[in-house]
Amino acid sequence: MTVAAVDKVFAGSIPQLYQSHFVPLIFQPYADDLARRLADRRLSRVLELAAGTGVATRALDQALDPDVAIVATDLNDAMIEEARAHGTRRAVEWRTADAMALPFPDASFDCVVCQFGVMFFPDKAHAFAEARRVLAPGGVLAFNSWDRIEDNEFADVVTESLAGLFPADPPRFMARTPHGYHDVDAIARDLAAGGFTAAPRIETIAARSIAPNALHPAIAYCQGSPLRSEIEARGSLEEATAVAARAIAARFGDGEVDGKIQAHVVMVER
């Protein structure tokens, strides 16, 4: 399996750890932000791409009028099943689907949402073209993408600590993929290449990532993401998690830890 393919695999115990550790650590604030931005729009049918364990789906469920239909998709069956298990107020349609080849008719949604999924798309312009295809005229594409790893402190500390543990072949998943699509000019170019003619509105939002102790983010990053596969290919997952936890504690203290996170929020009209 290629590096690009491995980066997209969320299986085994990853979905549960992603939900229990990652969602409250870094994803919830931005899910709530996306939902707030869409709450006042006149929407009838919303498509979510790369829904993961449903953090943004549940935020949309809370923020949008109850008669708005939500279709939530992800490439990984295991993530969709974890999301479905947590439930929503309305009857969300959960689908396994590839954002590169959406199984929906043209102009069938008035909003497409993607919470930290665009970084995983192998051809961003093509994925944006697919999103545009299923959007009705006047519809909106709304997504977010992590900023540089240096502006996301826990991710940066974990990555550097693992480089020390595996100096011959450092695991670079976090820098390569989640934090690999941070150039706002590149995002704008890809949207234009995908057929969007309106200028995107891009806002960079900083927030805080808070955990009860250093072990919590170490487990999130090392065991609740595809970084796990890179670690297990090189050595002990338990040792890597412990090394990451010590590095986080050394930087942020032994009790509650509080680190900076930062992401771009992008909205563009069809």
| Domain at 24, CATH number | 3.40.50.150
Domain of 198 in residue numbering reads as: 3-269
Q: For 40-123, where are the alpha helices, taking DSSP H only?
A: 55-63, 77-86
DSSP result, 141-166: EEEEEE--GGGSHHHHHHHHHHHHHS
pLDDT band at 10 (very low <50, low <70, confident <90, very high): low
pLDDT band at 6 (very low <50, low <70, confident <90, very high): very low
What are the angstrom distances between the C-alpha of 104 and each of 95, 101, 107, 232, 259? Answer: 11, 9, 9, 37, 40
* Closest C-alpha among 99, 87, 167, 103 to residue 127: 99
What are the angstrom distances between the C-alpha of 243 and each of 79, 143, 156, 170? Answer: 27, 33, 14, 14
109-115 and 135-146 beta bridge pairing: parallel
Decide: 75 and 8 in contact? Cβ < 8 Å. Answer: yes
Give the range among 8-22, 38-52, 190-204 with minimum mean pLDDT: 8-22
Per-residue pLDDT tens digits for 227-255 = 999 999 999 999 999 999 999 999 999 89
pLDDT band at 12 (very low <50, low <70, confident <90, very high): low
Task: Tell me the chain's radius of gyration from C-alpha atoms.
Answer: 18
**Mean pLDDT estimate for the chain:** 94
Give the range among 11-15, 34-38, 258-262 with minimum mean pLDDT: 11-15
Rounded Cα distance, 8 and 194, in Å: 22
Per-residue pLDDT tens digits for 47-105 = 999 999 999 999 999 999 999 999 999 999 999 999 999 989 999 999 999 999 999 99
Structure tokens at 30: 């931005």
* Closest C-alpha among 72, 73, 65, 66 to residue 38: 65
257-269 and 135-146 beta bridge pairing: antiparallel
Rounded Cα distance, 56 and 37, in Å: 12
Q: Number of folded domains in the chain?
A: 1
Give the range among 8-22, 149-163, 216-230 with minimum mean pLDDT: 8-22
Taking 60 as the threshold, does the pLDDT of residue 2 lie above it? no
pLDDT band at 1 (very low <50, low <70, confident <90, very high): very low
